[in-house]
Amino acid sequence: MRRLRYFGARVLLALPVVFGIIVLNFLLIHLAPGDAASVLAGESGAATPEYMESLRSKFGLDQPFSTQFTHYVEQIGSFNLGYSFRNDAPVSELIIERLVPTALLMLSSFSTALVIGTLLGLIAATGRNTWRDAVISIMTLIAYATPVFWLGLMMVVVFAIRLEWLPTSGFETVGSDDEGWAHMLDIARHLVMPAVTLALFYLALYARVMRASVLDQTGLDYVTTARAKGQTERGIMFGHVLRNALLPVLTMAGVQAGNLIGGSVVVETVFGWPGIGTLAFNALQSRDLNLLLGIFFISACLVVVINLIVELISVFLDPRIEV
């Protein structure tokens, strides 16, 4: 019950963030050169002065700033993110239908990065100052410095063009009528390269945090106690240290959630993965501001949700947090 109340409080604390996102979005709209009416008129292809006037009054642009803001908040509150004239569809609809591929990509990259990253960090920490540590450190440093989109392009050159092991782009083979497992396998083959590309940076990050965190933990009293009781080194590592050392990694994962979304925009663009990122890229190409703002709003909200989930897992890992 206490846990539930604690979590409720966290949800309440997230609300100002969502409100902040709405304020930021509103300010960004007004930062654009010309007002929304001229943008909309340009997008719909007709721009007589009368039409502009009618648009202005229709969208309330002749109202004072504060009225416009309350109107905007109400609009977002009813999940109306505006209309994309380029795609001739409501923005929210466009984003929702792209949500699944993006979620698939982000989840697979995230879990790959988390599992392999913590494992590498553990290996580096247990073999501190040995060749294993050195190799992992160098790999991390290089992964840190590699531009994500370039890595993707190089993977395409090597694995798709030269070796022809994996498809270059897309979500599934166009025109294939595979069903069930064959279809899943086809999607998985398309997913490998984008997921690995996106995961690499975070893998390096988690490995680095995990290494430092394991080293921090091994100096603590409870490790000495466990050793004195006759616990094996392996037992200490997996029974005691691992769980405690994971906390900073999780916190970092929560902090980095926003960057993961930014990275997926670039990766999806490289691999033509039909998610929110490609949608954002297309919106950019056609200067579809409404759609871009909607994507920003949804992705920011997504980050807030991910942070809440991370918090929930942290409480599960370390019950002391809720006090």
Partner 1 sequence: MKVFASFFKKKFFFKKKNQKTFIRCFARNRAAVLGASILAVVLLTVILGPLLYPGSAFKLVGKPLLPPGGAFLLGTDTLGRDVAAEIVHGTRTSMLIGVSATALAVLIGALVGGFAGYYRGWTELVLMRITEFFQTIPAFVLAILVVAILQPSVGSEILAIGLVSWPGIARLVRSEFVSLGGREFVLACTGLGASDTRVIFRHLLPNCASSIIAVGSLLVASSILIESGLAFLGLGDPNVMSWGLLISAGRAVLRSAWWICTFPGIAILLTVLAINLAGDGLNEALNPRLRTA
Should residue 17 be labelled a site residue for partner 1 when binding is judged by CB under 8 A?
yes
Should residue 312 be labelled a site residue for partner 1 when binding is judged by CB under 8 A?
no
Quote the CA–CA distance of 92 and 106 in Å, as a whole number. 20
Is the CB of 27 or the CB of 185 nearer to partner 1? 27
Should residue 241 be labelled a site residue for partner 1 when binding is judged by CB under 8 A?
no
Should residue 12 be labelled a site residue for partner 1 when binding is judged by CB under 8 A?
no
Should residue 165 be labelled a site residue for partner 1 when binding is judged by CB under 8 A?
no
Query: Which of 105, 114, 236, 261 lies at the binding interface for partner 1 (CB under 8 A)?
Result: 261
Tell me the CA distances in angstroms from 286 to 42, 44, 53, one per residue in order: 12, 12, 24
Should residue 45 be labelled a site residue for partner 1 when binding is judged by CB under 8 A?
no
Query: Which of 8, 15, 259, 321 lies at the binding interface for partner 1 (CB under 8 A)?
Result: 259
Q: In the bound complex, what is the minimum distance in angstroms from residue 31's beta carbon to partner 1?
A: 5
Q: In the bound complex, what is the minimum distance in angstroms from residue 157's beta carbon to partner 1?
A: 5
CB–CB of 217/245 below 8 Å? Answer: yes
Q: In the bound complex, what is the minimum distance in angstroms from residue 73's beta carbon to partner 1?
A: 17
Amino acid at 10: R
Q: Tell me the pairing of strands 83-84 and 89-90.
A: antiparallel
Should residue 223 be labelled a site residue for partner 1 when binding is judged by CB under 8 A?
no
Should residue 282 be labelled a site residue for partner 1 when binding is judged by CB under 8 A?
no
Query: Which of 258, 308, 312, 322 lies at the binding interface for partner 1 (CB under 8 A)?
Result: 258
Should residue 11 be labelled a site residue for partner 1 when binding is judged by CB under 8 A?
no
Q: Which of the stretches 66-74, 96-104, 175-183, 302-310 binds partner 1 when contact is defined by CB under 8 A?
A: 302-310
265 by DSSP, 3-state: which? helix
Q: In the bound complex, what is the minimum distance in angstroms from residue 29's beta carbon to partner 1?
A: 8
Query: Which of 9, 11, 15, 20 lies at the binding interface for partner 1 (CB under 8 A)?
Result: 20
Q: Which residue has the tokens 């094996």?
A: 232
Should residue 99 be labelled a site residue for partner 1 when binding is judged by CB under 8 A?
no
Q: In the bound complex, what is the minimum distance in angstroms from residue 296's beta carbon to partner 1?
A: 5
Count of other CB atoms within 10 angstroms of residue 316? 10
* Structure tokens that stand for 107 in this block: 């989840």
Torsion angle of the four alpha carbons 248, 251, 253, 258, in this order, in degrees rounded to the nearest 10: -150
**Phi and psi torsions of 81, nearest 5°:** -100, 15
b/e map 264-294, b = 16+ CB within 10 Å: bbbbbbbbebbbbbbbbeebeeeebbbbbbb
Is the CB of 32 or the CB of 317 nearer to partner 1? 32
Query: Which of 96, 255, 305, 309 lies at the binding interface for partner 1 (CB under 8 A)?
Result: 255
Alpha-helical segments (H) within 169-288: 180-218, 221-228, 233-236, 242-255, 257-271, 276-285
Contact residues for 104 (Cβ-Cβ < 8 A; gap 6+): 191, 275
Binding-site ranges for partner 1 (CB under 8 A): 16-17, 20-21, 24, 28, 31-33, 141-142, 144-150, 153-154, 156-157, 161, 212, 215, 255, 258-259, 261-263, 265-266, 269-270, 280-281, 284-285, 287, 289, 292-293, 295-296, 299-300, 303-304, 307
